[in-house]
Amino acid sequence: MDGTPIKLTECPRDAMQGLTDFVPTDIKAAYINLLLQVGFDTIDFGSFVSPRAIPQMRDTREVLSKLNLNHTGSKLLAIIANYRGAEEACAHQEISYLGYPFSVSETFQVRNTNTSVANAFDTVKSIRELCAAKEKELLVYLSMGFGNPYGDEWNTDIVSHRTEQLVNEGIGIIALSDTIGIATPEQIKFVYTQLNRDFPDTEFGVHLHSIPTTWREKVEAAYQSGCKRFDGALKGYGGCPMAKDELTGNIATENLISYLAQQNALPRLNYDKLQDALDYSVRVFQ
């Protein structure tokens, strides 16, 4: 690696969305406002999806209205699951990125967005056109990017094929998601080396889930293989509710920061605000 600073995405949305108890809107907004002052490249702050599917995110519009964006360089990302959600997100000038989960697994695509992979790809194409018209950027997550628990076929050729499809449709940012925390360092290194070689003009990110004892080897494998974007959540909150191990969650952002600092690849951060956000997180995730 050349020491170029990495783009960090903080994911309070992913950390909160699986909580049973509803986090009050004002607390959500106060937490995200602290995160906006830390210096992250992007804040994955909310989602425009069915409140029946993700009730915790039913107040995303209200949260957005309470965010202070006057003194931040961070960009906002909202998750969407269909074209209607994309239209809602695009109506808000404050949002820079729309994130769409496009799965390598047919079963997970149906479970996650209630549609097939083929239909999801058509949705990606329609949303990309909408984003271009509305001056937004579409970030596509390749969910179940390192395997799945359903027995659906997975191999690196499938990942490469799905990536090629997306690149050919003009998708410039693709993040592989280890949705259930099963990726090995060897898998990660092989996949990212291949993708960076075959698609040099595409920005590849990673959204890893992990148990606390295996995060470093996974992050290191991605970083050494040319990954430029890393997602995390303070204290490792959140993760996929379908993960088999209850300890499987997001990579803790403070661990990411520690590792990247050792590689001289860390963007400039406000550590006082980072500590404030860590302290406040207790109110969010109590």
Residue 195 lies in a domain: yes
Q: Name the band, by pLDDT with cuts 50, 70 and 90, for residue 249.
A: confident
Is 37 among the domain residues?
yes
Is the residue at 278 inside a domain? yes
> Is residue 2 assigned to a domain?
no
Q: What is the pLDDT of residue 175?
A: 98
Cβ–Cβ under 8 Å, residues 222 and 206? yes
Amino acid at 143: S
Average pLDDT over residues 226-244: 79
Average pLDDT over residues 259-285: 95
Residue 245: its pLDDT value, please? 46
Reported as a pLDDT band with limits 50, 70 and 90, residue 247 is low
Tally of domains within the chain = 1
> How many CA atoms does the CB half-sphere of 186 hold within 13 Å?
0
Residue 27 lies in domain: 7-284
Q: Residues 162-197: pLDDT tens digits? A: 999 999 999 999 999 998 889 999 999 999 999 999
Q: Give the pLDDT score at 240.
A: 56
Q: Domain containing 105 — which CATH number?
A: 3.20.20.70
185 class by beta-carbon count within 10 Å (0-12 exposed, 13-18 middle, 19+ buried): middle
**Pairing status of strand 137-143 against strand 229-232:** unpaired
Residue 162 lies in a domain: yes
Kindly report, residue by residue over 31-85, the tens digit of the pLDDT. Answer: 999 999 999 999 999 999 999 999 999 999 999 999 999 999 999 999 999 999 9
DSSP H helical segments within 169-214, as ranges?
185-198
pTM: 0.94
